[in-house]
Structure 1
């Protein structure tokens, strides 16, 4: 029996009747206006609504974005996860949520490259669109970079997780925070010290959250590459997507020669961030996925250069 004959063995009701079978009903009377200017705008109601709201907006908005990079590939397309918001005064009921995605779509059609200057313009324009004194945007994305094996020079793609947060206030200006989580190799100093041979190692996750100085120039410095270097250059060894046997020998020997506790990692990375002129304040965390324990090892360090001036 062919497919046409099989289709004729069961007689189904028309699609409209099938929908009614599962609960669909005929449209009711339409009495409210369909023109926007005639519709009630509850969010723009003005009364005493008891409290100011620190931030209201939308989050978990996924959208294609373009990322500039000083490492290969220099231009890359990836997926950004956005959050948008603004404060609401006690005298206003709420915000118009559609204006956040309207703003995103506008920038998308203009070619939305995710750099700090573009995001500054975005937040100032968003505040104006919302008729508020402030606005903020946060976007997180995977950032890819080419990594070659130390001996073979065979290349592959690594990635780190990056975030940019820009806050705008018409009275105080911009506040820019960036963060990067990169993966490293760490070899346990205690294991190396007490063992007759070998030492356990593990993958470490270094997260750096950095407040940038007001004069930071992204044209001169790629903050992503700088933070990645701070994490990787202080590790026992770097992570590689492609390793041939000569590469693996070099990487494992390097790790053995540079044992690191999580405490060592956060202090060494902090020293590099401290020396970066474009960093005003920072928090560093290292989380090791322990290879001979079921738990992770974690260390965190925070520092604010401005406190030195007090």
Structure 2
């Protein structure tokens, strides 16, 4: 069989280090293990990068796909470092970075009827191995209900509310499960969302939201306070975009904090 030249391994005369080179927007099916130990099937959009030393012309792009195809174990926040380190070794790089974004499902019981349904959340995991060590950033988007305190205060009856998307990005010194972040955010919302509600449930969530009004500023401050008090968290950002029901624009707030 004819031996073909490995062009990527040619020396490069420009002698410039590339901090990140790789592939983006790769969709790949995978299994992801949740807090209970169960693995759910999902589809992730992946960005995969490694560093490239100054003396090499290019990296081996095909190896990124091989890594995804060869990894058979369920992914998890605990084992994410294994995949990133495998990338670094396979591509013989000093550093490697793996970003995955995927829908994550949680089965929830309605507050009164107890009827069960799935609710989807958006998750991003960003793991990076460098000579300084490994760093994982966990990001979760949780949809919630937000009811306006001002509307409740000035109206004779009723109050306008909206659906909000709350994002938390967190770096930790110990394992923090995706479900923990979901629980934290939902506990600070005017009301959490459910995939399926019966009439008694709809009455409950409507009245619960009315009893727990929050501005977008309240939302990010209350979530940030919880994260600030969690000793496992070393850095975080929390943002909320409230899709207004009486305006054709959104309300937004964000807090970022290093501990």
Quickly name the TM-score band, shorter chain normalised: over 0.9
Alignment map for 1:42-191 (pairs within 5 Å): 42-70=7-35, 74-107=38-71, 111-169=72-130, 171-191=131-151
* Paired position in structure 1 for 2:207: 253
TM-score with structure 1 setting the length: 0.80
| 1:95 partner SS | coil
**Counterparts of 1:230 and 1:189, CA distance in 2:** 21
* Paired position in structure 1 for 2:219: 265
| 1:116 partner SS | coil
**Counterparts of 1:146 and 1:56, CA distance in 2:** 38
**Counterparts of 2:111 and 2:85, CA distance in 1:** 45
| Number of residue pairs matched by the alignment | 259
Of structures 1 and 2, the one scoring higher in RCO (CA 8 A, sep 6+) is 2
| 1:126 partner SS | helix
| 1:48 partner SS | coil
Deviant stretches of 4+, over 6 Å: none
| Structure of higher CA gyration radius | 1
Q: CA deviation at 1:90?
A: 2.3
- 1:124-160 CA-partner distances (Å, limit 9, x unpaired): 2211211111111111111101111111101111010
**Counterparts of 2:135 and 2:7, CA distance in 1:** 31
**Counterparts of 1:254 and 1:261, CA distance in 2:** 15
Q: CA deviation at 1:276?
A: 2.0
How well do the aligned residues superpose, as a CA RMSD in angstroms?
A: 1.5
**Counterparts of 2:234 and 2:53, CA distance in 1:** 30
Ranges in structure 2 where 5+ consecutive residues have no aligned partner = none
* Paired position in structure 2 for 1:30: none
Q: CA deviation at 1:50?
A: 4.9
* Paired position in structure 2 for 1:211: 171
- 1:204-257 CA-partner distances (Å, limit 9, x unpaired): 0000011121xx24xxx5x21111011100000010112112111111111011
Ranges in structure 1 where 5+ consecutive residues have no aligned partner = 1-33, 306-310
**Counterparts of 2:103 and 2:216, CA distance in 1:** 24
- 1:158-197 CA-partner distances (Å, limit 9, x unpaired): 010111111012x211011110001000001111111111
> Is the helix fraction higher in 1 or 2?
1
